[in-house]
Copies of this chain bind each other. A is one copy, B any other.
């Protein structure tokens, strides 16, 4: 099949690779209808994560079940499904605790930007729709594979409450979905920290009541001014750098929680401040499957439109252009059509 592969820093190609096959009776093969590029794909793209040259890349997709293993009971070829980036059996002790991210049978989508992908634990992982969603909904349905549940997880982990104040650090697609999640959870004041006009616009459509364009010290001061000097009741950290984490803890009020979903890179936590001010840290890799049914239902009934994070659609053959556009922040998030 044709698949996106990574060969080195900023070296993304479309290559012919072996088709994924059923390797366990709980597997399914999904023919990808739409995939996309994740902000976390930019870590290896930028050389900040180790890679094996020639590996496939891409972990977000929706598609049609092509084949199922002998033990798969709930899906059959032809079903349109959302594939969570982290696969789980949804029955083990950790899944029962709501920690599907730590499933005993955890797996990951390995070729979401490709023609086909394998899903481990198909019964536990996949969520199907009643037929192929309308084209107008497809982008939003695609967000349910990662970016929307991840933004939601940031908000839930940060303890966003009705009537409270939420600050979202990071204006990538996850951060924007975090804004949407904070709005869905009833935050009254939602501050999006963003200096990019197109992202600010999406943030406002998603419910941001304020935009702070400043960064670093000036950004912290602007948020503190907006919150009467108190700091925010909940902070969503949607980047993962030391600078963004530092900002997150400095705008969090005493007794609040930073909900992190940005994969940490080079972060040193301000433990002294966390201790004296009682600012907690929660979240991490999203237990995607836990949130999918609820969020997918809201997409399908039109009550949310997280697909607005996509501002570019490219055919698979041009996926490298998509990486470049996201790397240079010319695109918020790129949808890939195999």
Which A residues are closer than 8 A to B by beta carbons? 93-94, 97-99, 101-102, 157, 228-230, 233, 253-255, 257, 260, 263-264, 267, 269, 271-272, 274-285, 287
* 3 nearest CB pairs, A to B: A102-B254, A99-B255, A280-B282
List 9 A–B pairs whose Cβ atoms lie within 8 Å, in order of A's numbering: A93-B230, A94-B254, A94-B255, A101-B254, A255-B287, A257-B280, A274-B284, A277-B284, A278-B282
Q: Which residues of B contact A228 (CB under 8 A)?
A: 93
Q: Which of A101, A229, A255, A264 has the most CB of B within 10 A?
A: A255
Inter-chain CA distance A302–B63, complex, in Å, is 63
Inter-chain CA distance A157–B257, complex, in Å, is 11
Does the CB pair A269–B272 fall under 8 Å? Answer: no
Does the CB pair B278–A280 fall under 8 Å? Answer: no
Chain B: CB-nearest residue to A280: B282
Q: Which residues of B contact A284 (CB under 8 A)?
A: 274-279
Does the CB pair A255–B97 fall under 8 Å? Answer: yes
Q: Which residues of B contact A94 (CB under 8 A)?
A: 230, 253-255
Does the CB pair B264–A275 fall under 8 Å? Answer: yes
Nearest CB of B to A198, in Å: 29
Q: Which residues of B contact A257 (CB under 8 A)?
A: 280, 282
Q: Which residues of B contact A157 (CB under 8 A)?
A: 278, 280
Nearest CB of B to A327, in Å: 23
Q: Which residues of B contact A230 (CB under 8 A)?
A: 93-94, 97
Q: Which residues of B contact A98 (CB under 8 A)?
A: 255
Picked from B102, B272, B277, the residue with its CB within 8 Å of the CB of A276 is B102
Does the CB pair A278–B269 fall under 8 Å? Answer: no
Nearest CB of B to A181, in Å: 16
Picked from B99, B260, B267, the residue with its CB within 8 Å of the CB of A254 is B99
Q: Which residues of B contact A102 (CB under 8 A)?
A: 254-255, 276-278
Q: Which residues of B contact A271 (CB under 8 A)?
A: 264, 267, 269
Inter-chain CA distance A266–B279, complex, in Å, is 19
Inter-chain CA distance A81–B40, complex, in Å, is 55
Does the CB pair A281–B274 fall under 8 Å? Answer: yes
Does the CB pair B285–A253 fall under 8 Å? Answer: no
Does the CB pair B272–A264 fall under 8 Å? Answer: yes
Chain B: CB-nearest residue to A93: B230
Does the CB pair A283–B272 fall under 8 Å? Answer: no
Q: Which residues of B contact A280 (CB under 8 A)?
A: 157, 257, 280-283
Does the CB pair A276–B281 fall under 8 Å? Answer: no
Does the CB pair A101–B277 fall under 8 Å? Answer: yes
Does the CB pair A281–B283 fall under 8 Å? Answer: no
Does the CB pair B264–A101 fall under 8 Å? Answer: no
